[in-house]
Amino acid sequence: MIQGMIGKKMGMSQIFADDGRVIPVTVIKAGPCVIVQRRTPKPTNQVKVQLGYVEDKPVKKVTKPLKGHFDKAKVPVTRILREFFLQGNPPEDQFKVGDTVKVDIFQEKEIVNVLGTTKGKGFQGVVRRHGYSGGRATHGSMFHRAPGSIGSNTYPGRVFKNKGMPGRMGGRSRTIKGLEVVKIDKEKDLLLIKGAVPGFAGNYVCILKDRFARR
């Protein structure tokens, strides 16, 4: 069994359950992915496979070393590469280089974890970034969206770590755990996952099996 695969977030929608409940879902195009490399790193000696996400449009610009990497595996050039574990020590004829991994590795009502990159919002102040209330909105106060005092002077004479300050917001790798696979469309390689996943529409994500045991 493979740990997971690469997908692309297509957007959000909703479906109706048999009892009439509305279920918000995220539509993910999971694969198809090709196995580009298989290796067993030391000292863990646990088998890993490198997957490449195959898209409709061919990749035009690729470096010579990376092109040689794909030519050696005899697979099409892909833009996204990620590594996943294999459970146990499967034989060489299972999950070998050149094989295709599709959405059928998942099942409906299965629990998965989705790893993605959150939306980048640039440099933001403390009101938007940390939810500070700011000062009064009246005229003449001269204190509206500023952070205010960040520490004392005499003691301790420094700013404590993890103090909420202005800075870069979003654009970080986040994993949402415990999401349920509501529906699978094997013909179109689509996964309908209950709830929201990180990132914008068109963002690449990794769908991981929650019950996968690495050791």
**pLDDT digits 0-9 by tens, 1-40:** 888 899 999 999 999 988 889 999 999 999 799 999 988 8
Distance CA 66, CA 51 (A): 14
Q: Which CATH superfamily includes the segment(s) 4-120+174-209?
A: Translation factors (2.40.30.10)
pTM confidence score: 0.83
pLDDT attached to residue 121: 94
More confident residue, 212 or 155: 155
- pLDDT of residue 200 exceeding 70: yes
- pLDDT of residue 42 exceeding 90: no
**pLDDT digits 0-9 by tens, 58-98:** 888 889 998 898 888 888 899 989 999 888 777 777 888 88
pLDDT attached to residue 214: 57
Q: State mean pLDDT over 190-194.
A: 93
pLDDT attached to residue 14: 93
Q: Kindly list the domain boundaries of the chain, sorted by start residue.
A: 4-120+174-209, 123-169
Query: Hey, what are 101's tokens?
Result: 């991994």
Please provide the DSSP assignment of the chain as one string.
-B-EEEEEEEEEEEEE-TTS-EEEEEEEEE--EEEEEEE--TTTT--EEEEEE--SSPP----HHHHHHHHHHT----S-EEEEEBSS---TTSS-TT-EE-GGGS-TT-EEEEEEEPPP-EEE-HHHHH----S--STT---SS-----S-SSSS-SPPTT---SEEES--EEEEEEEEEEEEETTTTEEEEES--SS-TT-EEEEEETT----
pLDDT attached to residue 208: 92
pLDDT attached to residue 210: 84
**pLDDT digits 0-9 by tens, 168-187:** 999 999 999 999 999 998 88
- pLDDT of residue 155 exceeding 70: yes
**pLDDT digits 0-9 by tens, 115-146:** 999 999 999 999 999 999 989 989 998 999 99
Q: State mean pLDDT over 42-53.
A: 85
